Chain A
Amino acid sequence: MKLDNLTFKGGVHVPHHKELTQGIPLKSAKEPEMVIIPLQQHIGAPCDPLVKVGDRVKVGQKIGQANAFVSTPVHSSVAGIVKKIAPMITPTGMNINCITIEADGTNELDETVKPKGSLESLSSKEVLEIIKESGITGMGGAGFPTHVKLSPPPEKKIDTIILNGAECEPYLTADHRLMVERPEMVVLGLKSIMKAVEVDRGFIAIEDNKPDAIDAMRKVCSGETNIKVVTLKAKFPQGDEKRIINAVTGREVPSGGLPMDVGVVVDNVGTANAIAEAIKMGKPLYERIVTVTGNGIMEPQNLIVKLGTPFKEVIEQCGGYKGTPGKLIMGGPMMGLSQFTDEIPVIKGTSGILILTEEEVKPQPVAPCIKCGKCVQVCPVHLQPLYISKFSLNKKYDKAEESRALDCIECGSCSFICPAKRPLVESIRVAKREIIAKRKKAK
C-alpha cells in the first residue's frame, strides 16, 4: 500500500501562513479568573446544568449533562463558585445557556479526576464509557460527540481508523505542535479508539508540510504493526473527512452517507490526545490547544487554554491586537466562524483564534462571472459552483437542488479561487438551507 504523497482530486493550494506559530512550543495559558462554560459545545442535545448559582465546583467536575444519546457532558475547567447560569452569546453565533464560574485560584481537582488504569486492563465498553463521560467531542472544529462516532450500528462493519493530522486550514498549528510534542499521547489515543471500535488497522495521516510532525509520529510508531503514519499532499481541504478517507483508503463515501458506510472512522489527532488524557490522567475535556495567530495579533502562540476562558483574555495574553482587528475568527480562515465580539468563551471546538488585519479582509468588488471554470476545477466534490450559485442568487432553489447543492461541503475553495470574487459558497449555503427547509416542510 502506498503510504506517501496521498491525495484526492480537486482542491486548492492556499498560502499556509503556518510559519507564524509552527515553531512555537505549547505553553499553558494564564489561569482565567472567570470562565463561561456553554452547556452546548457540540452537535446534539444541550446539557442540563448539574450545579446551581452559589455552588462550589472543582476542576474536572461534571457540571452539565443530557440524557440524549447524541450529547456529551461538560465539565468545569476551574475550581470556584458558580456565579450565573444564563443564556449568553457563544462562538457558534447562538445564544446558549452558560455557566459562569469565578475561579478561586486553588485549582483543586475533582475526586473523579484520577487515572483509569492501563488501556490493556480496560474493556472496549469501558473505553467508550470513559470517552463519553469525559465529554470528548471532535476537536477539529465540528464538535460531534466522539462516543457516538465510535458506536456505529452493528450492521456497519468498521475496519479502519484514520487519525486526521492533516490540519489543512491555513494558520492553524495546534495539531502540528501536538504531534511534535506529544506523539505518544496521540498514539495512545489511537489505540484507545481502535480498542473501543475493535479494529486492528489504524492510520495517522499528516500533510507533508509538517515534516517534523511526520518524523515524530513515525518514531513513536516504529514498533507498531497495526498503525501506519501516512503523508498527504498539502492541499485544501485535505482534512475533510471524506477527502482524507479517499486519499488514505481510496474509498468513496457515498453522497449523503457517513464514513462508517465505507467501514472507516475518522478522528482528529486532538481528539485522540483528549482520549489519551482521559484514560491516562482521568482528565475530562476541560482544556485544549488553541493556536492564537494572524497578522492582527502581537505575539502569535500555541496555548493550552481552559475552556470557558474569554477570547479577549487569550488575546491580551498574546500581546493584544496589532492595530485595529479586521476580522476575529474561531478556527481557520477557510471554514472558521467570524465573530463580532471578543467577549465569547473558548469552547471544545476552538482550534484557533485568528485575527486578520483590516487590510487582509478589505471587501473586494464583486465582478460578473466570466465562466473561467476555476471553481469547477477546485471543487473537491466535483460540483459546478458557478451554476449552483447562479441558481441560488436567482432563488431557483429547485434548480440548485438538481445541481446537487446538498453535496457541497462548504469548504470555500470555490470562493477562494474565484477571480471575480463572487460569493460562491456563501450563496450555495443559502440554497442548501432553503432546500433543507423545503424538505422538512414536505415531511
Chain B
Amino acid sequence: MNNTLFASSSPHIRSEESVKRIMLDVCIALTPAIIGSIYFFGFKAFKLILLSVVSAVVFEALTQKALKKPVTIDDFSAVVTGILLAFNLPANAPWWLPVVGSAFAIIIVKQFFGGLGENFMNPALAARAMLLTSWPGIMSTFTAPGPDAVTTATPLAIMKGLAGTEATLPSLSQMFVGNIGGAIGETSSLLLLIGAVYLLLRGVIDWKTPISFIGTTVIMLFLFGVEPNLIPYHIFGGGLILGSFYMATDYSSTPVTPMGKIVFGIGAGFLTALIRVKGGYPEGVSYSILLMNVATPLIERFTRPKVFGEVK
C-alpha cells in the first residue's frame, strides 16, 4: 500500500444528528396542532398554513439565489418558520397576510441578518409583531371554531374586559382542547403539549426555558393580583404554550448557556404577565419573547458557566 490514506484531525466519527433532522422533528411536533387547527377552523386554517409555508420556502430560495448563497430550503427551517407564522394568524385573515408575513420573516429578519443561526429575533414572531402593528384590525379579530365565521373574543380579551360584558369565558376543558377563539395554531394547548413532549424526548428543546417561562408567568400573575381561578385561562388561553415551547426555544435567538435559558424564561414570563395585566394588549407572549431575544447576547455574557477547575 502506498501513502494514500486519508488522514485528518480527530474525532473520526460523527453522530447521526443533523440540522435537517432537528427541523423535521419540529415539523413532526407541530403536526398534531396543524391537524387540530384544520379540524377546528376548517379549510381557512389549511389555506393559511399552506400559503405561509410555501411562501416562506419560496422567499428563502429567492433571497438565497439573489444573494448568491447556497440554497438551503431542504433543511426545513423555512417550513418551520412558515408553520409558526401561520399559527399566529386569525382564521379569517386574508390570503396575502401570510405571504407578507413570510416575506418579512424570511427576507428581512432571517436572510438579511445572515440566514439560519444568525437571526437575532425569532423570524415568525417578528413577522407577527410587524403584521399586528400594520394591520391591527385583521390581526386581532378572531373567529370561533367552526365553519361559520362568527367573530369571537379570546379568553385573554374577555378577562381584560375588552370584549364587552356579555362575553363569557369558555370552559377550561374546551380551552385546553382548543375549541375556542384565537390564532389558529395557539388554541389547542393539548396538541401543542403533545408535540412539546416529543421535542423534549428527542432532545431538540431544553425544558429550562419553557418551564421557567410558564412558572414565572404564573407566579407574576398571582403577585399582580389575578384571581387564582383565572390563572389556568392565562396558561392555556393565549399564546403561552406555543410561545414558551416553540418560540422561546428558538436556537439562534435565545441563549445557549444553561443558566441563560432560565434567565430568558424568567424574563419572558415576567414581561408576559406585566403586559397582560398592566399593559394595553390582552396578550404579551410575542413581545416579551422578542424583547428577550434582543437581550440574549447580554444574558449569555453574564451566564457563562463556570469552566471545570476554574477558580473564580
Contacts and interface: CB of A to CB of B under 8 A. Distances in A.
Nearest to A336: B10
B295 to A, nearest CB: 15
A324 B258 CA distance: 44
Interface stretch (B138-146, B154-162, B301-309): B301-309
Contacts of B116: 367-368, 370
A360 B12 CA distance: 9
B5 A328 contact: yes
A373 interface: yes
B66 interface: no
Q: Give the interface SS of chain B, mostly helix, strand, loop or mixed.
A: loop
B10 A338 contact: yes
A330 to B, nearest CB: 11
Nearest to A335: B10
Contact of A337 (B1, B10, B72, B304): B10
A337 B8 CA distance: 8
B310 A404 contact: yes
Interface string B1-18: 111111111111111011
B308 A326 contact: no
A255 B312 CA distance: 11
Interface residues of B, number: 41
Interface residues of A, number: 64
Which secondary structure dominates where chain A touches chain B? loop
Interface string A45-88: 00000000000000000000000000000000000000000000
Given A336-B12, A419-B17, A384 B256 contact: yes
Contacts of B117: 368-371, 420
A336 B206 CA distance: 32
Interface string A310-329: 00100000000000011111
A341 B13 contact: no
Contacts of B118: 368
B294 interface: no
A407 B305 CA distance: 13
B31 interface: no
Interface of A: 12, 14, 170, 242, 246, 252-257, 312, 325-329, 333-343, 354, 356, 360-361, 364, 367-374, 376-377, 380-384, 386, 404, 407, 410, 412, 415-421, 423, 425-426, 429
Given A252-B309, A360-B13, 8 more contacts: A327-B12, A333-B11, A338-B12, A343-B1, A361-B12, A370-B77, A372-B251, A419-B21
Closest A-B pairs by Cβ, 4 of them: A412-B11, A373-B256, A419-B17, A255-B309
